[in-house]
Amino acid sequence: MSASTSWPTGLLPALVTPLHDDELDVPALGQLIERHVGAGVSGLVIGGGTGEFGALSLDERRALAEETIRLVAGRVPVVVQTGALATRDTIALSRHAQQIGAFGLLVASPFGEPINWAERFRFYEHVTAGVDLPIMIYNTPPAGILTIEQVRQLAVLPNVSAIKDSSGDTTLLGDLLLPSSGGLDVFVGSDSFLPYAIAGGANGAVFGAASFIPDVVVQMIDRLRTAPNDERTQQLWRELRSFLRFMEQSPNYVALCKAGCGLEGLAVGDVRAPYLMPSEKEVGELAERLTALRAVFGAVTAAP
């Protein structure tokens, strides 16, 4: 596929990885998928940061991709995050994703011991040469934030057709949304930047909090597109923004996503070490904020 491949428009939630007894929980994964498909998501992203990919073995990542694609059964596009510390592992995971029917790839460049720009470009060059799937660049702080000029250089590589921007930089996000950035489809990964991204023409959003409130985020994106100035839209955004800021400011974002799934009736298990589940106090605050968000969401969607 070429760099002109069209990506889905809307919410592509970054799913948590359900675990039970420290193994992939396939029944829980199925329940999670059904909740999201029923909520009207435009696709699913698996094996990303929210999915604890750094704590999963390569075999576990392959199994996660295989089971997800089997359970989704073609109802929505599945995007597999295949970034790894070694280029050969990323290529192997990417080829596997292509073989089993993934729609596309989200690819974070190696992190840990920092790599320089020449190494980073060569990494993406090798990955794009190894597969024919559309590729979404993952612009995330752990891998080092890309400059707009670096994005332009990556945009000319075969199959690179989108970017998930989790930079937390509104200026960079605005630049990415300009045609001069390389023409990539843009997905916002910084939760609370959602309205700015949609107003600027972004394709949609990819972030972890949607793992347990997909219906709210789907509705929010739809309202931001169709009635951005409506009072109900603004009311919902005020409550959702407060909720997302609480999530973003916590040192336990991934763990809170799993705790949130539990509060929403989705038994996805705990995070894997070295991650830690949030304290009872933090889960209590999450529950209070979730109740308030659900109340506003219910009022907005019930209004004629």
Catalytic machinery residues: 138, 164
The separation between CA 34 and the C-alpha centre of its own chain, rounded to angstroms, equals: 17
The separation between CA 260 and the C-alpha centre of its own chain, rounded to angstroms, equals: 16
Residue of 28, 85, 35 lying closest to 56 (CA atoms): 85
Neighbours of 251 (CB within 10 A): 9
Residue of 137, 141, 164 lying closest to 153 (CA atoms): 137
Q: Specify which residues 135 forms β-bridges with.
A: 105, 160
Q: Is 107 helix (H, G, I), strand (E, B) or coil?
A: strand
Say how many CA atoms lie within 13 Å of 300 toward its Cβ: 24
User: Reading across the β-sheet that carries 44-46, which strands appear in turn?
Assistant: 10-11, 204-205, 185-188, 160-165, 135-139, 104-107, 78-81, 44-46
- Alpha-carbon separation of residue 107 from 33, 79, 98, 192 (angstroms): 22, 10, 13, 22
Write out the two tokens for 29. 């994964």
Q: What is the dihedral of CA 216, 218, 219, 224, to 10 degrees?
A: 120
Distance of alpha carbon 59 from alpha carbon 53, whole angstroms: 11
- Alpha-carbon separation of residue 117 from 11, 114, 137, 165, 169 (angstroms): 30, 10, 14, 18, 20
User: How long is the chain?
Assistant: 304
